C-alpha cells in the first residue's frame, strides 16, 4: 500500500477541520475498510466522512489537486470492489443518510449514503414506497444508479427509471443538478452509469402509494425445480407487477442438503396471494414464512450474512425459463459444492421480476442497457479459505459463460422483441469478473464514452466500470 504523505493529510485536516478523518494508525481504521465481501477490501491511504455536498466537492477537488486515487463508499456491497482504494482516498458517505418525502408529488429525496432499509422505513410512515433494492443494507446510490431491481420493478420499472433529479459532484469538484431539463445529457448517462460520472450526494425518486403486502419464503427440495420453474413462467406471463418471485438454489443454515428457496411477493390481501400462489402450495413446501407485512419488511435478502469471502457474477435468463437448462445449472451447482466443500454457501439465484415495467422504456432511453423479456441469474460463490478463491473464480467464470451462451442462443432462436434483441444480458451491479465495458453497455457504450470525455476526461471515477481504459485510447480519440 503506497502511503499518502503526512503533509498531504495534515493539509486536508487543516482545510476541512470539522471532517472525520481516519488514517492507517487510527483506532477505527480497519473497521472502516470492511466490505460485504472481504476479498474486495483494500487498504485506503485515508478514509474521510463528509456530511454535506460541499464537503464532498471539497474532497474531490483536494484529491485532484494532490493526485489521489478516489473511491466512494455507500453500502460497501460492490462485487467488483469499486468502493475500495489501494492507498488512495475513500470518501465514505455513511454520514449522509437523510430521507424526506413530498406527499404532494410523492417525490422521495435520498442522500447518497442512505441504505435501502432506512429509505423504506422512512417512506412507509407516509404510505409511500419506491423502486429499490431487496437487500436492505445495500447502498442506494451504488445500486440505483446502474439499474436497481426491486419488488416494484414489475409495475414501475427500474430504480433508474424513477430518478427525477440528482445532485452530483463532478470530477472537477463542481456541483451540478441533472434532470430532464437540467444537463439532460448527464441525466441520461447518470441513469445507468452514474458512478462513472460523479458522486450523487442527493437523488430525487418518484414514489408510489403503498400499503401492506404478502411476502416470505417457500422452501422446496431440489426435485421440485421443474414444477417451480413452470409456475414462475406462469407468473412472468400474467403479472403486471402485483406479484413477483425470486428463486434461489443453496444450502440453508441448519440444513444438511441444498434446497430451493422461492421468495414470493404479492401486493394485495393474503387470501388473494394464496389463491395466486396456490400451485406452489400444492407442491407442499418444507418451509413457509409468508405473511402480511409492511413494505419495509420485505427487505432482508442477504442482510443477515456476515462479511465473508466470495466471487459474484451474473447473466441473463430468457423468459420463459427452460427447465432443462435450469436442471443443468442445478447439477453444475451440486457438483461444485461437492468438489469444493469450503464453498458450501454458494448460491444461484434467479431474479425474474415481471418485465412489464422494464419494457415501458426503450433500450436507449437511459444509459441502462439491459432491458428485455428476461431476468437475472446471480451466481455467488462464497468460501472461507483464501486458497479456495481460484476454484471459485474459475467456476463463476465457467458458469457465467454457460449462461451467456444460452442467453445469446435464445435471443437468436426465439421471436424476441426489438428491445430484447439489443440487450447485453449482463447486470453491472453483479459483475465481479470485470467484464469489458463495451460488452456491459452495448448499444449505449459509444454515447457514454463521448459524454465521459466531457464530464470526466481524466477518468477520475473509474472504479465501477472503467469507460476509458488505456487500451481504448485510440478508439476514444476517433470519437472526438
| CATH, residue 369 | 3.30.70
Rounded to whole angstroms, the Cα distance separating 59 from 71 reads 11
What pLDDT score was predicted for residue 252? 79
In a domain, 257, yes or no: no
DSSP state of 3: P
In a domain, 41, yes or no: yes
Rounded to whole angstroms, the Cα distance separating 215 from 237 reads 20
pLDDT higher than threshold 70 for residue 390 = yes
- Examine the domain organization and report whether 327 and 357 are in the same domain: yes
pLDDT higher than threshold 60 for residue 274 = yes
- Examine the domain organization and report whether 61 and 106 are in the same domain: no
In a domain, 350, yes or no: yes
- Examine the domain organization and report whether 312 and 397 are in the same domain: yes
- Examine the domain organization and report whether 186 and 157 are in the same domain: yes
pTM exceeds 0.85 for this model: yes
- In angstroms, how far apart are the furthest CA atoms of the chain? 69
What residues form DSSP beta bridges with 213? 293
- Examine the domain organization and report whether 424 and 330 are in the same domain: yes
In a domain, 461, yes or no: yes
- Examine the domain organization and report whether 181 and 68 are in the same domain: no
Rounded to whole angstroms, the Cα distance separating 97 from 467 reads 28
- Examine the domain organization and report whether 80 and 109 are in the same domain: no
- Which residue, among 334, 162, 187, has the nearest Cα to 259 in the 3D structure? 334
Mean pLDDT of 446-467: 97
Contact assessment for residue 189 and residue 172, using Cβ atoms and an 8 Å cutoff? no
- Examine the domain organization and report whether 72 and 175 are in the same domain: no
Contact assessment for residue 400 and residue 314, using Cβ atoms and an 8 Å cutoff? yes
- Examine the domain organization and report whether 83 and 103 are in the same domain: no
Q: Which residues contact 308 (CB under 8 A, 6 or more apart)?
A: 37, 38, 345, 382, 383, 384
Run of H or E residues at 403: helix 389-413
- Examine the domain organization and report whether 330 and 420 are in the same domain: yes
Which segments of 140-196 does DSSP mark as H helices, in order? Answer: 140-144, 153-156, 184-193
What pLDDT score was predicted for residue 467? 97
In a domain, 220, yes or no: no
- Which residue, among 71, 126, 81, 87, has the nearest Cα to 8 in the 3D structure? 87
Run of H or E residues at 71: strand 70-73
In a domain, 354, yes or no: yes
pLDDT higher than threshold 50 for residue 357 = yes
Q: What is the pLDDT of residues 192-210, one digit of tens each?
A: 999 999 999 999 999 999 9
In a domain, 268, yes or no: no
Where a domain ends, among 44, 64, 92? 92
Mean pLDDT of 328-342: 97
Q: What is the pLDDT of residues 244-259, one digit of tens each?
A: 999 999 987 777 889 9
Where a domain ends, among 182, 209, 236? 209
Q: How far apart are the first and last CA of the chain?
A: 36
Distance of CA 416 to the CA centre of its chain: 26
Q: What is the CATH number of the domain that holds 161?
A: 3.30.465.10
Structural domain count of the chain: 4
Cβ atoms within 10 Å of 229's Cβ, excluding its own: 22
Q: Domain span at residue 179?
A: 99-209
Rounded to whole angstroms, the Cα distance separating 405 from 425 reads 10
Mean pLDDT of 369-385: 96
Q: Which residues contact 17 (CB under 8 A, 6 or more apart)?
A: none
- Coil, strand or helix at 435: coil
Mean pLDDT of 56-71: 97
pLDDT higher than threshold 70 for residue 73 = yes
pLDDT band at residue 260, thresholds of 50, 70 and 90?
very high
pLDDT band at residue 124, thresholds of 50, 70 and 90?
very high
Q: What is the pLDDT of residues 309-333, one digit of tens each?
A: 999 999 999 999 999 999 999 999 9
- Coil, strand or helix at 113: coil
- Which residue, among 256, 262, 198, has the nearest Cα to 230 in the 3D structure? 262
- Examine the domain organization and report whether 125 and 81 are in the same domain: no
Amino acid at each position: 500500500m503506497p502511503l499518502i504523505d503526512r503533509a498531504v493529510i495534515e493539509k486536508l485536516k487543516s482545510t476541512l477541520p470539522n471532517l472525520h478523518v481516519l488514517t492507517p494508525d487510527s483506532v477505527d481504521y480497519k473497521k472502516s475498510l470492511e466490505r460485504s465481501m472481504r476479498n474486495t477490501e483494500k487498504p485506503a491511504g485515508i478514509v474521510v466522512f463528509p456530511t454535506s455536498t460541499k464537503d464532498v466537492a471539497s474532497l474531490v477537488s483536494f484529491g485532484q489537486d494532490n493526485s489521489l486515487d478516489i473511491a466512494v463508499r455507500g453500502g460497501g456491497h460492490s462485487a467488483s470492489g469499486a468502493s475500495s482504494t489501494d492507498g488512495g482516498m475513500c470518501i465514505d458517505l455513511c454520514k449522509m443518510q437523510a430521507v424526506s418525502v413530498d406527499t404532494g408529488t410523492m417525490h422521495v429525496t435520498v442522500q447518497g449514503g442512505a441504505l435501502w432499509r432506512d429509505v423504506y422505513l422512512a417512506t412507509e410512515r407516509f404510505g409511500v414506497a419506491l423502486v429499490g433494492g431487496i437487500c436492505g443494507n445495500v447502498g442506494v446510490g451504488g445500486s440505483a444508479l446502474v439499474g436497481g431491481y426491486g419488488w416494484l420493478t414489475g409495475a414501475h420499472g427500474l430504480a433508474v427509471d424513477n430518478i427525477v433529479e440528482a445532485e452530483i459532484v463532478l470530477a472537477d469538484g463542481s456541483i451540478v443538478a441533472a434532470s430532464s431539463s437540467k444537463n439532460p445529457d448527464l441525466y441520461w448517462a447518470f441513469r445507468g452509469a452514474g458512478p462513472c460520472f460523479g458522486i450523487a450526494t442527493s437523488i430525487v425518486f418518484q414514489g408510489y402509494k403503498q400499503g401492506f403486502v404478502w411476502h416470505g419464503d417457500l422452501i422446496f427440495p431440489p426435485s421440485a425445480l421443474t414444477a417451480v420453474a413452470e409456475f414462475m413462467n406462469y407468473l412472468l406471463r400474467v403479472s403486471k407487477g402485483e406479484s413477483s418471485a425470486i428463486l434461489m438454489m443453496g444450502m440453508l443454515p441448519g440444513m444438511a442438503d441444498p434446497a430451493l428457496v422461492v421468495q414470493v411477493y404479492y401486493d394485495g390481501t393474503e387470501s388473494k396471494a394464496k389463491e395466486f400462489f396456490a400451485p406452489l402450495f400444492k407442491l407442499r413446501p418444507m418451509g413457509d414464512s409468508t405473511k402480511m407485512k409492511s413494505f419495509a419488511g420485505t427487505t432482508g435478502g442477504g442482510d443477515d450474512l456476515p462479511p465473508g469471502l466470495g466471487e459474484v457474477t451474473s447473466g441473463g435468463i430468457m423468459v420463459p425459463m427452460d427447465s432443462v437448462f435450469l436442471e443443468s445449472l442445478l447439477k453444475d451447482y451440486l457438483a461444485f459444492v461437492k468438489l469444493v466443500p469450503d464453498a458450501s454457501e454458494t448460491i444461484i439465484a434467479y431474479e425474474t421480476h415481471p418485465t412489464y415495467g422494464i419494457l415501458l422504456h426503450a433500450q436507449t432511453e437511459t444509459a441502462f442497457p439491459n432491458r428485455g423479456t428476461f431476468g437475472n441469474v446471480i451466481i455467488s460463490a462464497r468460501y472461507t479459505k483464501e486458497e479456495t478463491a481460484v476454484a471459485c473464480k474459475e467456476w463463476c467464470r465457467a458458469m457465467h459463460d454457460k449462461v451467456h451462451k444460452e442467453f445469446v442462443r435464445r435471443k437468436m432462436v426465439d421471436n424476441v422483441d426489438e428491445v430484447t434483441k439489443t440487450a447485453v444480458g449482463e447486470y453491472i451491479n453483479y459483475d465481479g469478473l470485470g467484464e469489458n465495458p463495451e460488452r456491459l453497455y452495448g448499444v449505449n457504450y459509444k454515447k457514454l464514452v463521448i459524454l465521459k470525455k466531457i464530464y470526466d476526461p481524466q477518468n477520475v471515477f473509474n472504479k465501477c466500470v472503467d469507460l476509458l481504459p488505456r487500451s481504448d485510447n485510440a478508439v476514444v480519440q476517433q470519437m472526438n
